[in-house]
């Protein structure tokens, strides 16, 4: 028995699928900010603004999939999309004024997400792009612009608008090319419609196509998973995201099967490893646990935005905004009735000059966020960059966590000196490793959050 094996015996391996960490702190740790709420102008006054990210959130879908816990509602009656874009315009105007003109303001990357941005009509997508460009000053044709779509809304007229306005990446949620699995995930779609939408996307000549797939669906096998992977590969997508299925409270599947178990964990790990190896053997490289990129894919552009250090402007009632000291958004919910109420409140808002809901980020949280968001990338983190930013070593700041990760075999012992990088098993357990870096305060706030 090796020393590493002996050491690992002191640590109990956590369940591999605790939580998908795409932002830290999570919005369930946000709380209403006390009055007087901080003004955006004060928050951004001393922030660097030369490499910002712009994100516009469109909270509408035609249907809600059984696994979905995103902030989105079904349909948009009574000209709701018009009222929503009116509010988005007001918010963009207030945010751009808060950024000021004392120093150059530049956006390095942009994205439209949701929900389903292409729920909007072609004319409404034109207006969304105008808001980003004319109100915020983002040059959409000069930066990477990613837009999410769905098989039912990826119509030729909408895609033509996005291509003409500078989209460099179209991401489509397919989840499964096997119709029985799509039904099991409460995602009504026909494969013929999926294939037709992919053909339309390819016809636009947008340089990057991303296809989202999900593993762990009830009844899914290695063979059926392989059929979905190969169906996606037939389109030679520049990117593929492989997502483990989660069953969340208040979602369609959550109401049917609220409890995960060890057998399901093992199934998802088995399907993950198969999917990873299948893609690596077919000309893809791994960027993170979920993201795979074709090795010969064209670069998207000069994206110099770094999520660990640069600010984000989020427009829309489900979008986050980040400064170095405060992460903020609007109220958060999963239940459809609550979401409808929040969307309605957003469309009626006139004053967007202050942050109303969020969480302050102190020095410890900034260190955690930097380590977490760097370590979850396959390329790892150069410790010199961390030390330059914080004046300390990650090994001194997080000795217990890194010792535990090493004992579990999650750190790459063969990484070059000065590079902290996950092993293949570490990447496989990203959804356990990420939450292990949450602070006690954030964990307590998330535990106290009442799902609604």
pLDDT digits (tens, 9 = 90+) for 142-153: 999 999 999 999
SS3 assignment, position 384: helix
CA dist 253 to 7, 245, 258, Å?
Answer: 39, 10, 8
Which neighbouring-strand residues pair with 113? 57
By the 8 A CB rule, do 144 and 168 touch?
Answer: yes
- pLDDT tier at 300 (50, 70, 90 boundaries)? low
SS3 assignment, position 400: helix
* Angstrom distance (rounded) from CA 381 to CA 128: 36
Average pLDDT over residues 20-39: 92
pTM assigned to the model:
0.92
Q: Residues 41-78: pLDDT tens digits?
A: 999 999 999 999 999 999 987 766 545 556 666 677 68
* Angstrom distance (rounded) from CA 136 to CA 134: 6
In which residue are the tokens 């990484």 written? Answer: 415
Average pLDDT over residues 374-390: 96
Tokens at residue 419, please?
């590079």
60-69, 153-162, 224-233: lowest mean pLDDT where? 60-69
Q: Which of 434, 309, 296, 436 is nearest to 377 (CA)?
A: 434
Q: What is the model's pLDDT at position 258?
A: 41
Q: What is the model's pLDDT at position 435?
A: 95
Q: Which of 37, 38, 34, 39 is nearest to 100 (CA)?
A: 39
* H/E stretch holding 184: helix 179-184
308, pLDDT greater than 90: no
Q: Residues 115-151: pLDDT tens digits?
A: 899 999 999 999 999 999 999 999 999 999 999 999 9
4, pLDDT greater than 50: no
Whether the ω angle into residue 25 lies within 30 degrees of 0, i.e. cis, is: yes
> What b-and-e string marks burial along 265-304, b requiring 16 or more CB atoms within 10 Å of the CB?
eebbbebbebbbebbeeeebebeebbbbbbeebeebbeee
By the 8 A CB rule, do 41 and 369 touch?
Answer: no
Q: What is the model's pLDDT at position 301?
A: 60
State how beta strands 208-215 and 169-175 pair.
Answer: parallel
**Neighbouring residues of 392: CB distance < 8 A, sequence distance ≥ 6:** 367
Total residues found in the chain within this entry: 452
Q: How many CB atoms sit inside 10 A of residue 5's CB?
A: 10
Average pLDDT over residues 172-200: 91
Between 19 and 207, where is the model more confident?
Answer: 207
159, pLDDT greater than 70: yes
Q: Residues 402-421: pLDDT tens digits?
A: 999 999 999 999 999 999 99
Tokens at residue 99, please?
């950024």
């Amino acid at each position: 028995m090796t020393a590493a094996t002996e050491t690992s015996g002191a640590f109990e391996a956590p369940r591999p699928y605790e939580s998908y960490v795409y932002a830290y702190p999570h919005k369930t740790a946000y709380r209403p900010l006390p009055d007087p709420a901080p003004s955006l102008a004060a928050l951004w006054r001393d922030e660097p603004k030369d490499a910002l990210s712009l994100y516009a959130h469109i909270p509408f879908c035609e249907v809600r999939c059984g696994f979905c816990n995103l902030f989105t509602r079904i349909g948009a009656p009574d000209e709701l999309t018009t009222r929503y874009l009116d509010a988005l315009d007001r918010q963009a105007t207030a945010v751009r004024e808060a950024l000021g003109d004392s120093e150059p303001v530049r956006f390095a990357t942009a994205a439209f997400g949701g929900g389903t941005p292409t729920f909007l009509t072609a004319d409404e997508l034109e207006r969304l792009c105008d808001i980003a460009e004319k109100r915020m000053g983002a040059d959409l044709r000069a930066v990477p612009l990613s837009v999410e779509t769905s098989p039912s809304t990826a119509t030729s007229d909408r895609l033509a608008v996005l291509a003409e306005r500078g989209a460099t990446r179209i991401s489509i949620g397919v989840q499964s090319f096997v119709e029985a699995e799509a039904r099991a995930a409460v995602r009504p779609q026909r494969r013929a419609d999926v294939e037709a939408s992919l053909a339309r996307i390819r016809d636009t000549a947008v340089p990057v196509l991303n296809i989202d797939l999900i593993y762990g669906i009830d009844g899914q096998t290695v063979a059926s998973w392989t059929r979905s992977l190969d169906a996606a590969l037939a389109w030679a997508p520049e990117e593929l995201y492989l997502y483990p299925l989660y069953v969340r409270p208040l979602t369609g599947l959550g109401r049917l099967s609220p409890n995960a178990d060890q057998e399901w964990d093992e199934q998802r790990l088995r399907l993950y490893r198969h999917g990873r190896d299948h893609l690596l053997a077919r000309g893809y490289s791994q960027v993170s646990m979920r993201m795979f990129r074709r090795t010969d894919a064209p670069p998207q552009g000069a994206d110099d935005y770094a999520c660990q250090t640069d600010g984000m402007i989020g427009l829309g009632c489900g979008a986050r905004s980040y400064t170095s000291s405060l992460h903020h958004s609007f109220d958060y919910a999963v239940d459809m009735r609550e979401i409808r109420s929040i969307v309605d409140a957003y469309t009626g808002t006139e004053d967007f000059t202050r942050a109303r809901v969020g969480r302050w980020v102190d020095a410890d949280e900034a260190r955690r966020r930097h380590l977490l968001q760097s370590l979850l990338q396959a390329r790892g983190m150069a410790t010199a960059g961390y030390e330059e930013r914080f004046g300390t070593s990650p090994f001194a700041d997080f000795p217990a966590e890194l010792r535990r990760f090493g004992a579990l075999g999650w750190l790459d012992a063969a990484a070059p000196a000065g590079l902290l990088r996950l092993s293949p098993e570490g990447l496989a357990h990203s959804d356990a490793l990420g939450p292990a870096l949450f602070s006690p305060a954030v964990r307590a706030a998330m535990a106290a959050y009442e799902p609604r």
